[in-house]
Each structure stands twice: as structure tokens, then as C-alpha cells.
Chains A and B, each alone.
Chain A
Amino acid sequence: GAVVSQHPSRVICKSGTSVKIECRSLDFQATTMFWYRQFPKQSLMLMATSNEGSKATYEQGVEKDKFLINHASLTLSTLTVTSAHPEDSSFYICSAREFGGTYTEAFFGQGTRLTVV
């Protein structure tokens, strides 16, 4: 299968600061990327879907001004948590898929544990 690399794996930041999480497809072109959030002992909830070169489509209840998603290239998408607060502490996972590629399914990064203090 294809490889998706997510960085950083863990980050601790102060309340009010912004944090950027990167998601890279290493051996395929990620025409579509998905960002998920997971609270402790819960499932992964889709936050947004982004297509390369287009604005992200956010799920209901997700603040687009707080969770900025950029998908400017076919191998990189970033999620920026702006003005982070303790309630933003969570596990964030990205996923990437190549439209019309070898694989129909999406591949997942290893996730980023964000702690806001």
C-alpha cells in the first residue's frame, strides 16, 4: 500500500498559540485528503475533506476559521489549529487518496497528539 506521513506525532502548545500539522503522501499523488479528530475513547470523526487546489469542505459543526486546511500541492496538506484552547486537545489523523490511481482506498497517517496547556 501507499504511505502517508504525518508530522509531528506529538505537540504541546500554550493556549492562544497556533499549531500546524503536516500530512504528506510519500509515493502517490494525494488528490484528496481527509482530516479526522478523535477524542479519548471515541471514534474518529471526519472534520473536513480537501481536494488539491480547492477550498476544503468542512463537516457540520467544524469551525473553518479555527481549523485552517491548506492542500496546495498533490503531496502535502496542512491543518492549522488557530488560537488553540485546551478543548482542542485531541488526536488528529489525516488520510489521503489518489483519484484514478492504483488504489481506490485512502491511506492514513499515524496521527498527531495535540495537547494545549
Chain B
Amino acid sequence: SQQGEEDPQALSIQEGENATMNCSYKTSINNLQWYRQNSGRGLVHLILIRSNEREKHSGRLRVTLDTSKKSSSLLITASRAADTASYFCATDSGGSYIPTFGRGTSLIVHP
């Protein structure tokens, strides 16, 4: 079963705008990771955030984690056409640390 659920399922914006995607999960986690996947390609790791962290930055990416709400958000600032991709969150929990993926958000950035 899927642990994380991304919202929205699809997002279409203009270049230069910010894109925000959310991920909700059901059980307590150890880690939450965000990935990007271009059409037909492999996963690109974006950011890992651990359960005791609340916010992390990497370039134009900002990830927040609210364990009380069991949710995380990924913000891409000043989006570019090259950011067009599917974005997935993956959580792992308990002692098994098995990564479980959400359905993903399909982001389209129009030039």
C-alpha cells in the first residue's frame, strides 16, 4: 500500500512562478525523500529530510516537514521549463526502512 500521497496530482504553471507540492502520509516516519522523474527516466534524488528536521533547502528547492500533521511540502522557486517532471515523495518507517512512494505530482512548467 502507498504511504505517501502527493497533492496536487497535476500542476501547470508559467516559467518563473513557484511550484508547491504536498505529501501526506499515514504512519510515523524515519525519513522522507523527494524525487524527480523525467518522462521515461530514472529517479533523481532531490532532498532527504529526517523525522527530527523541519526544513531543508537545496538551491531553488525548499522542503518542510510537519510531523504533527504527517505532511511535507516541496517548494520549487522561480521554476524553469526544465523542471517539468513528475515529483514523488517516499517515506520509510519502522525498523524495516522500506521506502514507500506516493502517486506523484506531474508538474508542467510552460516557457
A-side residues, CB < 8 A to B, are 1, 6, 9, 32, 34, 36, 42-46, 49, 91, 93, 95, 97, 104-111, 113
7 closest A-B pairs by beta carbon, nearest first, are: A110-B42, A111-B42, A44-B101, A105-B31, A43-B101, A43-B103, A108-B43
A93 lies within 8 A of B43 (CB): yes
11 pairs, A vs B, C-beta closer than 8 Å: A9-B42, A34-B98, A49-B96, A91-B40, A104-B30, A104-B50, A105-B30, A108-B43, A110-B41, A110-B43, A113-B40
**Chain A min CB distance to B21 (Å):** 14
Q: Bound complex: CA of A5 vs CA of B78, how far in Å?
A: 32
Q: Within 8 Å CB of B92, what residues of A? A: 105-106
A106 lies within 8 A of B100 (CB): no
Q: Bound complex: CA of A106 vs CA of B30, how far in Å?
A: 11
Which residues 34-50 of B have a CB within 8 angstroms of A? Answer: 35, 40-43, 45, 48, 50
Q: Bound complex: CA of A77 vs CA of B6, how far in Å?
A: 30
Q: Within 8 Å CB of A42, what residues of B? A: 103
**Chain A min CB distance to B105 (Å):** 11
Which residues 61-83 of B have a CB within 8 angstroms of A? Answer: none
B-side residues, CB < 8 A to A, are 2, 30-31, 33, 35, 40-43, 45, 48, 50, 88, 90, 92, 96-104
Q: Within 8 Å CB of A91, what residues of B? A: 40
Known: A43-B88, A44-B88. A106 touches B99 (CB 8 A): yes
Q: Within 8 Å CB of B104, what residues of A? A: 43
Known: A43-B88, A109-B42. A104 touches B31 (CB 8 A): yes
Q: Within 8 Å CB of A43, what residues of B? A: 2, 88, 101-104
**Chain A min CB distance to B9 (Å):** 10
Q: Bound complex: CA of A45 vs CA of B102, how far in Å?
A: 9
A49 lies within 8 A of B98 (CB): yes
Max chain A Cβ within 10 angstroms of own Cβ: one of B30, B41, B98, B102 = B98
Contact of A97 among B90, B97, B102 (CB under 8 A): B97
* Nearest-neighbor residue (CB-CB) of B30 within chain A: A104
Known: A43-B2, A43-B104. A106 touches B97 (CB 8 A): yes
